[in-house]
Structure 1
Amino acid sequence: MNTPKIEPHRITTPIQLMAVWFAGLVILVMVFIGGAAYVTTPTWIAGMLTIAAVTCVPVFLFCVFLLQTAFRPQLQEDKYYSDWLAQNQQKAQSTTSSPLPPQTPQTLSATPAPTAELPEESKRILRTLWRYQTQSFGADISKRWTFGVHPFSPDYSAFLRGLAPAVSRGLVAVSPENYQCMLTNEGISFLKTQNDLQSGDDIYKF
């Protein structure tokens, strides 16, 4: 009879992990009870092993209960856990060393449109990108700070309203990989001339 072998790389879901824990508990209890049966002297060792075998079960069950209550979302299957993350992480940020060009067929004019023509939602996006771009990389424009707002976020509709004009004017581009937005070179040049967009607290905070 072959002894069952646990292969760690095959344990990919929480229920499998809990099954391994229960198997470990059974083995531990068997070791304690077996040790208590074989150890005869001194007699107190057998008693201690028996007590350990009895007490480790409720302690283990309490720990499982704690995990199921305090960390229930993290113990869900991958799909449900990803849905939970999507609903609780409403914004995401990242960086890239591959800046994107403007994603619009329109060519930027030599004199960009004044900020008065931009909707407030677009200004909020531009302020956010400028704030964290300069904080992260300073004057280095070979890298980009990027961010996005999740569809479940209450800010998502406003984010989309602001993103469209910024993209259409070539100031902002959206990564096809993670769907996060970043400043284009044209956007950085434009913001360098707009003092009102280089400051202010109306931003997406990270």
Structure 2
Amino acid sequence: MKKNPMPKLKTFHLFFLFFFTVIYQVYSQDQGINFYQNILNEITAQKGTLTGKIYRDVNGNGTEDVGEPGIENVSVIFVDSNGNGQTVQSDANGNWTEEVIAGNTLILIDNTSLPSGALLTEGTEPSTINVISGGIVNAEKLGYAFVGDISGHVYYDVNGNGIQNGLEADMANVEIIIEDDYGNSQSIFTDANGDWSIQ
């Protein structure tokens, strides 16, 4: 007569379930984590909607002017009032929208997702905003100008041939004024070797 293996199998399952439950409870208490409570908090949390825009500040004046385009695929990171993070990308017009739980939310930009040379000209980053349950809150608009480096050298062209010859000295402490197409200007002085560089 064959013995029924089912009692042994049930005993093994019960032992495994008991062992897993004990380990989980020890881990939860040791880490200070209540797994089920976190899930319940996320399900029952009151939420609101955040919106914003990221644009290319072409003339660098810190204001979005007509015709200045949005910046696409910029990663916007949110850390909600429970300390949980989430990310959204700006669309083709530079707009983004995301639903988060109510309370203070930290907003950051992943700078690696911005085009090279981006310089913030409008708005604050990172920033904190209070999300209202069931409401829509507009975050600060963020404008970015894009800059590059420019450099030069100043010397005494004694013989006027347009080339610095061996005995022609460098010119130190000469003020160089740079003005762009939009009337923005900045200045810098040459160093002891007659060199200058500015962004």
TM-score over 0.5 for the alignment?
no
**Structure with the larger helix share:** 1
Higher relative contact order structure (alpha carbons within 8 Å, sequence separation ≥ 6): 1
**Structure with the larger strand share:** 2
TM-score, with length taken from structure 2: 0.28
TM-score, with length taken from structure 1: 0.28
